[in-house]
Every structure is written in C-alpha cells, then in structure tokens.
Structure 1
C-alpha cells in the first residue's frame, strides 16, 4: 500500500504533530474497536471473549514480522516497565546496569528497583554509551530513539560493545518501532509500548525475549493467560505454563488489542522502510525551515521563544520535553502540517 493511499484511512484534525505522545488510529482499528464496544454492551462477544483473544494473536504475529523475530519469542503486556520487570528481577545480585542519563523511566525504574539486591545503575551521556561499556557491565539498557529529543542510538555499535564484554542488551523501542527499521534479534530483550508509533490504544505493550534470556527469567506475574493452554489453565495446580515467551504474558486488555491488530497489520502493508522515508523527510523539511541541519529521526526538538504557545495559537499540537518543543511526524502527517508549523514558529 502506498503512503498516499494509506493516508486516506485517518481522520486527524489538522496540525497533529505529537505522535511521540500518542498515535492516531487508522479507520480499520477505530471500526474494530467500535464493533467490540457494541458487542460488550449487548453481551455478544462470546462467553469467554474468543474474538478478543484472536486480536492479541494477530497483534503478536504482526509485531514479530515488524521487528524480524520468531512469534514464539514475543510476549504481550500492558506497559513497557511491566515487561522489563522480569528481566530486572533475573539480574544477579550485585550486577551493574549501564543506562543513558536522560533515559525514559520505563527503562530505568525497573533496574533502580533492584538496588536493594545490590544492583547498581550507572548513567552516562548517550553519546558516550558505547565507550562506557566495560568488563563490569552486566546489562546495557537504552531507548533506540530517545523520547526527550528523538536522538537515534547507535544500535549496532552498542550491541557490539556489549557482546565484547558479555553484557546483555535491553532496548526500549517505544519511540522507534513503526517508523525505524531495526533488527530486534540483535538484542536480548526489546520492549515497547504500542500506543505511539504502532498506533494502538493505550494498554498494549510487546516484548521480544531471546530464548537464552528466558532461561534466566522467572514468570512471577504468571496467571491463566500464561498457561500452555489458557482455557485449561483456569483452576488448580500444577503449574503448567507455555514453553514460549507466552509464559510471561499477562491477560491482555481486550479492547486495546482489538484496536491494535488492524493498526499493526496496516503498518506491515505500507512497510516500515517507506514510513521511515516519509517521516524523516517531513522532519528534515521542518528542520530546514528553522535553519537546522538534517537529521535521521522522525522526532525533532527546537528552541524557539514561546514555541508551544505559538503552535497552540495556530491550532497545532506538539509537546515540550526537556525544555524544548518536540514535534513528531508519522504516516498521516503531511507537508502542509510542516509548513503550518514553520509559519507559526517563524512568522
């Protein structure tokens, strides 16, 4: 599917420049969610929500294709920090975790929460992350794209340095997956919240857990949905969990996954490389209009006096992060959106 064809499947108000805060649903996702809400209201979703379960399976499969990993290595949840938590709990006492100093806390607090066991968290500037990896590093945790300013991490270089020191690699891909092509299998764990660039409702989160890493992890949050066969795991012992990454699932937020499946499948139809080219071109058009050099991200920040109030007066929606206005462009964004923002900021 071509970009222009796909853009007909959105109904945004003009001036939405804030996908880095939350993405907008395409029509198929919105329609599926409305149908599910109607079925819930009238009791027509089945006795155990069979149709809802199909949606999580479709979401899991689409995510596996998007990031290039086997479907059995994918777990589902509701928040990024929840999916990082069992990895953090599996670190040996006294382990050292290396994190960029301005890391979003979903990929920071789970490691800090282990400090009572002697786990040490060391922070360094993102630009110095590769050089800071040493023999004392047990795990490197970082966002593939930084939430605060859109900086794209040196993924391959970080992984290579970590492997040279036998360190694990934990990636938060929340601000990357859906527009930035990358190979999740290079890392040991890749986690994301899907309500941003994957255009899913809030309450959807996905994780790739490498098989070797899963052997170290304990499914402390296991419930019926982590069972080898969830519908026969409703009552009584013994413990009978899935052999795959599904043993780390929590029961999905049904409505959220109803909306997620069509959104991720649409992204697959368009293709992440095409979306990447579209998004970065718009971001660089914006940067050029402000006299900034081109970048490699769909997220751009800028220091412009009264920038946010100027955008708001023009009916444009963006965000302020780390003291700078942050704009972000996705599949449904257009050159008109960019030009309106430039007029507001430079006029």
Structure 2
C-alpha cells in the first residue's frame, strides 16, 4: 500500500488514474475481492457454509474491536450507519422535553433521526465557525436535559477533525446525563482514533476501511450496554427468538448485540474482515506518516493557487480530507475527470481525500491540472 511495488500488487485498479475520492468510495485491495470469492464458495455449500459464515463474523468482530479500542463483546454489525442511528434513536426513546446536540458538519445519517421521531426531542445545532467546531460555542447548548451529543470525529463535508478531549470534557462536565455518539466513518482506517471514551461509536464500511457496502459498525462499551439497547423487532438480537415464550415477550440482548437485529450481511463482513486486517498489517501509524504530508501538500498547493480550503488542515489534529468551493466547480471537476483525476464534486464544493495508497505523483497531478484549468476559467 505504501510502496510502488505493494501499490501495484494490491491495487491494480489504480493503474493509470489519480484516485483522490476515498472519502466517498475506496478502492479495495485484492484481498477484499478474494474474501468475497471465499464467501461465494462458502455460500455454494448451502447450510453447511454457515459455520464458515459465522466464523468470519467473529473474526471480523475481533479485528474491528482492536481497531476501535473495544472488546469483541462490545462490537456488533448492522447494514449501514443510517440503520445504526435509527436503532440508536430506538434505544434512547427520547421525548419532547429531552435535548440532542448535533453539528452542522455532520452527515445526515447522524442528524436526521432526531428530527423524524414521532415525538421529537429538541435539537440544538452546534455551528462551525470558519469551518471548525469551537468548543466554546457548544457550551451554551449543554444542560441537564441534554441526552445525546452527536458528532463526527472527521467531517465528511470539509475534513475538520474534532478536538476530542476538550469536547468530551465539556460534555461530561455540563451535560452529565448526556451520551456521546461519534461517527468515525471518515476516520477509521486513516487516522489514529482518540475517541475511545465515547459512549457509542458508529461507522460505515466502504470508505477508509477499504471494505464494501452493506455493513455498519457499532461499538458500545459494556458500561453503556443497558442504556443503549434497542427496542427494535427482529430475531438475531433476541435471546429467546425460538423459545416457547417467543410470542409472549422479546428478550433482547443488551448493548451492541441488540443492534444486529437480523441475519448479518455476511459478504460485507468477509470483506471488512479482510480489509481491516490488511490495514492492520500495514499499520495505521504508517498510513498517517505517509498520507498526512501529502494531505498537507494538497492544502498548501490549493492556497498557492488562490483556492481557500473550507477549514484549516492541522498537523496536530489531522484528517485525510481537504475541501474548497469555487464558482466554476463543475468545470474544474470535468477537466480533472478528463485527466483521470477522481475527486468529489457536490453543490459547488470539491473534496479531495488522501489515503495510504496515494502518492506524491497523485498530488502533483492534481495540482498541475488545477493550475492549468484555473488559468482558463
């Protein structure tokens, strides 16, 4: 992943392109495709393949727990982060007198369940200033009625990385009844996580983790298991799903296990098990050491070309994303795509994402083409 030879070996799909769009979709290594083929061979065995399926789930649970700093018993899986947040809403069962704090840099999946509830809690919006979330702006939003503070460790929108310790301390001190929920979708697999004392950790599986669609990660420390148990129907998360009393009561497993309400999406977990073990072998610290300087170079190069990033990239609290706005974003995007440079364009915003498989040449290609285009628009 970090050398020319391993990049060519493990990511042949990158040949001939500059791929800087991992924050939307990753390019998986070949071992993920091999894992999917293993799933297919196990699936072809019919019911006899289930032993292998469940063994993969447990192996995936083990490596996921290591990656997010929890025990395997504190980790579970669902179909996507949106499902995880809806199940979290079910677990909390908040009412009109409760309060939830969300940020304007969060992905919709983490912010909207509180707006669509039958009896919606009061939602307090923590607004960014100059692209960054300042803890002092959160303080007036916290009180004894706050039941949840929902954040992303790294913002999908502009790459802002939350200053975790000041944020966490503020919530614990001013909102003692509040749970902290953190989405690590734009962090897991790319940055060293520092949010191990969160009350619930949620992530999708098809971005920096190098996995595929159809998976959602839930991590709930045992101390919060009873508070964060869903009230959803299903069967896989029940202790008595096939007992004699199954139509009289539902005995739900607690904590993270309650979020796996139905049969696992085995193929996504085969893929995730392979991708996380690949990343673990490479070492997140090595990815950080390789990719952070490239990301810093992207930011500096944008500024040199008169493009202002939507938030500062900070070496002491880094992420893999840099974003900017431009009135001719559509033109910029089309010209970059023409040169086989893949980035995200959405609503006048261009987002650039740098992972461990990116190179100095990728950054140079991006900045060279941008400079040429900017002279013409």
- Is 1:97 matched up with 2:100? yes
Matches within 5 A, 1:262-301: 262-291=274-303, 295=314, 296-301=318-323
* 1:248 matched residue in structure 2: 259
Q: Offset of 1:82 from its aligned partner?
A: 1.4
Q: CA deviation at 1:184?
A: 3.9
Mean CA deviation greater in 117-126 or 144-153: 117-126
Cα distance change on mapping 1:244 and 1:50 into 2, 3 Å: farther
SS for the counterpart of 2:170 is: helix
TM-score where L is the length of structure 1: 0.89
Match of 1:334 among 359, 362, 369: 359
Question: Does the C-alpha gap of structure 1 residues 280 and 322 become closer, same or farther in structure 2, counting only changes over 3 Å?
Answer: farther
For the Cα contact (< 8 Å) 1:191–1:207, is it kept in 2? yes
Contact 2:26-2:208 within 8 A present in 1 as well = yes
Distance (whole Å) between structure 1 residues aligned to residue 230 and residue 148 of structure 2: 20
Alignment CA distance shift 1:131-1:26 (3 Å) = same
1:321–1:163 CA distance, 2 compared to 1 (3 A): farther
Q: Does 1:160 align with 2:169?
A: yes
Q: Is 2:135 the counterpart of 1:108?
A: no
1:189-200 aligned at under 5 Å gives the runs 189-200=200-211
Deviations 1:298-327 (A, max 9, x none): 111134543211211111111124522111
Q: CA offsets per residue over residues 79-108 of structure 1, 9 Å max, x none?
A: 112112233231442211111123211101
Note the residue ranges of structure 1 that are not aligned, 5 or more in a row. Answer: none
Q: Does 1:83 align with 2:84?
A: yes
Cα-to-partner distance string for 1:271-304 (whole Å, 9 max, x where unaligned): 2222122222211122222236754221111345
8 A contact 1:224–1:233 mirrored in 2: yes
Instruction: Give the match for residue 151 of structure 1.
Output: 160
Q: Which residue of 2 aligns with 1:179?
A: 190
**What stretches of structure 2 of length at least 5 have no aligned partner?**
305-311, 373-377
Whether 2:24 is the aligned partner of 1:21: answer yes
C-alpha distance 147-243 of structure 1, shift in aligned 2 (>3 A)? closer
Q: Tell me what 2:126 maps to.
A: 124
Displacement, 1:130? 4.7
Q: Corresponding residue for 1:210?
A: 221
Asked if 1:307 is matched to 2:332, the reply is: yes
Q: Tell me the SS of whatever aligns to 1:98.
A: strand
Does residue 1:60 correspond to 2:61, yes or no? yes
The match for 2:35 among 32, 39, 51 is 32
Structure 1 runs (4+) deviating above 6 angstroms are: none
How many residue pairs match? The answer is 340
What is the RMSD of the two structures over their aligned residues, measured on CA atoms? 2.3
C-alpha deviation, 1:31, in angstroms: 0.9
In 1, the alpha carbon distance for the partners of 2:63 and 2:360 equals: 29
> Could you tell me how far 1:242 is from its partner in structure 2?
4.0
Given that 2:209 and 2:275 are in contact with CA atoms closer than 8 Å, whether structure 1 keeps it comes out as yes
- CA distance in 1 between counterparts of 2:228 and 2:359 reads 44
Residue 39 of structure 1, CA deviation: 4.6
Q: Measure, in 2, the Cα distance between the counterparts of 1:31 and 1:44.
A: 17
Residue 371 of structure 2 is aligned to residue 346 of structure 1: yes
Q: CA deviation at 1:180?
A: 1.3
Give the TM-score normalised by the residue count of structure 2. Answer: 0.83
SS at match of 2:162: coil
Q: Say whether the 8 Å CA contact 2:186–2:208 is kept in structure 1.
A: yes
